[in-house]
Amino acid sequence: MKTEHVKRAYRYRFYPTDAQAAELSRTFGCVRKVYNLALEARTAAWYQRQERVNYNATSAMLTAWKKTEELAFLAEVSSVPLQQALRHLQGAFTRFWEKRGKYPRFKSKRKTRKSAEYTRSAFTFRGGQLTLAKMAEPLDVVFSRPLPGGAVPSTVTVSQDSAGRWFVSMLCEDPAVKPLPRLDAAVGIDVGITSLVALSRPVEGLSDARGKVVNPKFERKDRASLARAQRDLARKEKGSKNREKARVKVARVHARIADRRRDHLQKLTTRLVRENQTVVIEDLSVRNMVKTPTLARAISDASWTELRSQLEYKCQWYGRDLVVIDRWYPSSKTCSACGHVKGDLPLRERVFRCDRCPLVLDRDINAARNILAAGLAVTVCGDGVRPQRRPPGRQRSLKQKAQPAMAGIHPL
């Protein structure tokens, strides 16, 4: 019996020739065109005839489009990425019907990510060389890390970012990704701005003696160079070649910031998941928090959403438990020693001083310990981990539900 392994994407840079770059650029344009045509046809069918058009119908439309004089150029590129675009559109409609996503939107030429997906019938991978359909030569891929032994990609996605860099992502089964041995350790995480995260307990080599992980603030470090590049872009005439060159310079600065931030978060989340059986975080509405003008830039630089996303899939990979507690739980105002809840705690007060017991503790560390206690209470009483979407005034908070189980649990 064949063992099912986790499928993992391995992403590499590659450097196409002029002919390959031109072929891929045509493919990106055709993929976008087919997606938009199919979306337009499905939307018109629903509003005009109340008819749902499925993937098979759009595939038949694609065949007809290729035979027209106006869209004959669609037959000049590989048909597989075009079919995959229709499958992606079908998935978007499925998520919309199941109320897990918004109505699909048209792809913009300038704002949409340029990508094309190839399945096994449209590429060959032999001896470490990748050759795509409609191409005579293999791609010049820089393998910065090896693929799993004996792995053969099931799909290959080629993309180009706004900075002009080319990437190829190979989806393979990775036997090395499997549940790790169970541990007794657990950690609560309170995200922040001054410090990236505050942990309920210090981790050697990762945090300081209190349990705080330094926030690298990559955007602030490159803010001066980013401002210069943006000023240079603003001076260029719209539609000119010099403006395009200036735009690429701005995109390169953003790409450097994003790459450093992503690499730092990968190392942080991997360490937390490997060394703890239970990871507890808060459910934060980052989308609403970034609307605060004074904090939007710092919150975006901290990238809390990416931090949570990485914790979610890594816990799933390695058999760890991720508990997400209610966003309305007063973790900062609650004393981690006696449980007393303060009536008010301004953001400028960085030290928590309990009114009923002698506890004096860093505000973020106190919150992290309360988050851990609430998460352990959830696991003990068997309550669901889905975060509450309404304030405690309209429905019971997590603390109220888990209060009996928290009685005998110390946050340390």
Of 23, 117, 219, 364, the active-site residue reads 364
Give residue 227's pLDDT. 97
Query: Catalytic annotation on 321?
Result: no
Of 190, 219, 301, 326, the active-site residue reads 190
Rounded Cα–Cα distance for residues 21 and 23 (Å): 5
Entry pTM:
0.85
For residue range 347-357, list pLDDT tens digits in order.
888 899 988 88
**β 123-126/129-132 pair status:** antiparallel
Are 63 and 38 in contact, with CB atoms under 8 Å apart?
no
**What are the sequence ranges of the domains in the chain?**
6-174, 186-213+269-406
What does each of the 412 residues of the chain score in pLDDT, given as a tens digit? 455 678 999 999 999 999 999 999 999 999 999 999 999 999 999 899 888 899 999 999 999 999 999 999 999 999 999 999 999 999 999 999 999 999 999 999 888 999 999 999 999 999 889 999 999 999 999 999 999 888 889 999 999 999 999 999 999 999 888 999 999 999 999 999 999 999 999 988 888 888 999 999 999 999 999 999 999 999 999 999 999 999 999 999 999 999 999 999 999 999 999 999 999 999 988 989 999 888 899 999 999 999 999 999 999 999 999 999 988 889 889 998 888 888 888 888 889 998 888 889 999 999 999 999 999 887 776 554 444 444 444 444 433 433 333 333 333 3
Of 23, 117, 282, 326, the active-site residue reads 282
Residues 6+ apart with CB under 8 A from 4: none
Residues 6+ apart with CB under 8 A from 405: 377, 378, 380, 381
Give residue 6's pLDDT. 87
Query: Catalytic annotation on 76?
Result: no
Query: Catalytic annotation on 282?
Result: yes
For the beta carbon of residue 42, count every other beta carbon within 10 angstroms: 21
Give residue 399's pLDDT. 38
